[in-house]
Amino acid sequence: MSRAYYGDKKQQHNKYSYLLVDIKRQNSNVALVQLNLPKTFNCLSNGLIKELATLLEPLDNDDKIACIFLTDSTRAFASGTDIKEMQNNTITQIIHSDFSEKLSAVSKIKKPIIAAVNGLALGGSCELSMMCDIIYAGNKADFSQPEIIIGTIPGANATQRLPRYVGKSKAMEIILKGNRISTQEAEQIGLVNTVFPADKLVEEAIKTAEYIASYSKIVAQLAKESINRAFETTLTESNQFERFKNLRYRTIFGLTDEKEGMTAFSEKHKPNFTGQ
């Protein structure tokens, strides 16, 4: 992996202490963001989370970037929240902390995000992966919500997201026991999409990111928004949203990309989407 930083390389090298960024492939439309604190197994410190939130915003607003994927070293996706930073916090400090809000910035990104988990995904890092749109895992990865072991509960929405992924009973078991689950079990219960050999994970994630990036960026974002609405609301509310959204669906037929896609299909050639 090349160590290219987003924007001006020299400036970003000074700005980001916890992340590596690589703009991938021929069209330079896929952004790889790597957590880069190997000595602490990518512990989710306040500094790392703030940098991640700061970095994702310009990537989301960059018209050239169509898809983002978040990955790690082979040892750990992230080892969870930095306990040393938290253990002496008072209730007032916790109430005024913006840690959860900063971490949740991942779920607010409009563009598709793929998590490529190649090592440990414990606590906050498991929550971080669930904020992404697609989760791929290496065959040696482990997932866990171990907060109960240290006398607390998940603090970045695992109690809300995990049941939506694996169902109420399995989420109860994972959170109340605090045990690690293997990547194979994570795939079986629907927490991850697909498991790959560890040395092939990033390559496969790039393939999927490129595949998504080959389509219309604006249409991909609309599709993501609609699916997330179904995930986050009741069926009645999501159906109402879909009926309202149907008005926007009709406006898609005014997009240049829609005309290009249908024309290319009819004429049997590859479309040239522009994001317009």
pLDDT at 248: 59
pLDDT at 15: 66
pLDDT at 268: 76
Residue 275, helix vs strand vs coil: coil
pLDDT at 13: 39
pLDDT at 237: 79
CA dihedral 4, 33, 272, 109 (to 10 degrees): -140
- Amino acid symbol at 41: F
CA dihedral 133, 55, 137, 79 (to 10 degrees): -120
pLDDT at 84: 57
pLDDT at 12: 42
pLDDT at 91: 55
Question: pTM for this one?
Answer: 0.80
Q: What CATH number is given for 9-213 in this structure? A: 3.90.226.10
The structural domains of the chain, with segments of one domain joined by +, span 9-213, 217-267
pLDDT at 5: 39
CA 131/CA 118 separation, integer angstroms: 17
- Token code pair at residue 59: 């990537």
CA 121/CA 201 separation, integer angstroms: 15
- Sorted by sequence, the CB contacts under 8 Å of residue 144 that are 6+ apart come out as 120, 121, 122, 123, 126, 174, 178, 179, 180, 181
pLDDT at 2: 38
Q: What is the DSSP letter of 44?
A: B
Low-confidence ranges of the chain (pLDDT < 70): 1-15, 24-27, 38-42, 73-101, 242-254, 258-262, 274-276
